[in-house]
Amino acid sequence: MTFLAAAVQMASKSDKRANLERAERLIRLAAARGAQFVALPETFNWRGKRADEPAAAETLEGESLALMARLARELQIHLLAGSIAESAAGQEKRYNTSVLLGPDGARLAVYRKFHLFDVDLPGRVTIKESDAKTPGTEIVVAATAIGKIGMSVCYDLRFPELYRRLVFAGAQILAIPSAFTFPTGEAHWETLLRARAIENQCYVIAPAQFGPNVHGFSDYGNSLIVDPWGRVLARAPDQEGVIVAPLDFDYLERVRRELPALTHGRLG
């Protein structure tokens, strides 16, 4: 089986309506180019000051995911709503939540970001995501008509044990919607994505945010689609847009058959 997948690159700001309009335009562009699976970046619907986040957060029934469900249904695509700030009943903090929707608009999977980005790079980037977010607790692989999709978000990329759990649960595609900072992205983004693809013999879809953001630093962009041999199939330029590449599951199975490293592990 072969089909086209798309990664959407965005520069989301604090105007939610404008972000959703751009996301819709780019999703429609991806579908027009033949993509059956379209993935949006982390925090695609809103990126603003932390003090404003409680008001911008939504439940899974909120306007952002309702729009995504309508688009998935209308365009008959699998759609990964990269992530939103999800309001959690009875909790002061929110989840960073990624949602996979099917061609009928139904929710196929919900993943709440496992690893929170608490980092201090003096003079460059200081972020403490855990001040505002609660980590998720469930590892999620979604069985779909286009294959098994292992879900993750951004900083999760640095934790290979998560992806090994995903592939042992059957994942063939690793979804990594992100908003990687420029300093860490320039140093590690492509290397880590290609490593996760190679060591797990999976396709990797990594839609990303790019450009200056409201937090005072820049996001790296360079959204990628990587094949199970670690080859970059598509890379986004420094602008909002869509990249598309074919995912060939016969090829994936051939890689796993000819280099059966996933069956040779002796630890954990």
Strands 241-248 and 141-144: unpaired
Neighbours of 90 (CB within 10 A): 4
Distance CA 186, CA 56 (A): 30
**By C-alpha distance, which of 188, 197, 252, 259 is closest to 3?**
252
Q: Is 42 a catalytic residue?
A: yes
| Cα radius of gyration (the chain) | 17
Q: Which residue in the list 16, 58, 133, 154 is annotated as catalytic?
A: 154
- The single residue listed with the structure tokens 């490593």 is 195
Q: Would you report the helix, strand and coil content of the chain in percent, each value rounded to 5? A: 30, 30, 35
Per the annotation, the verdict on 93 as an active-site residue is: no
In the annotation, is 154 catalytic? yes
Instruction: Please list the active-site residues.
Output: 42, 113, 154
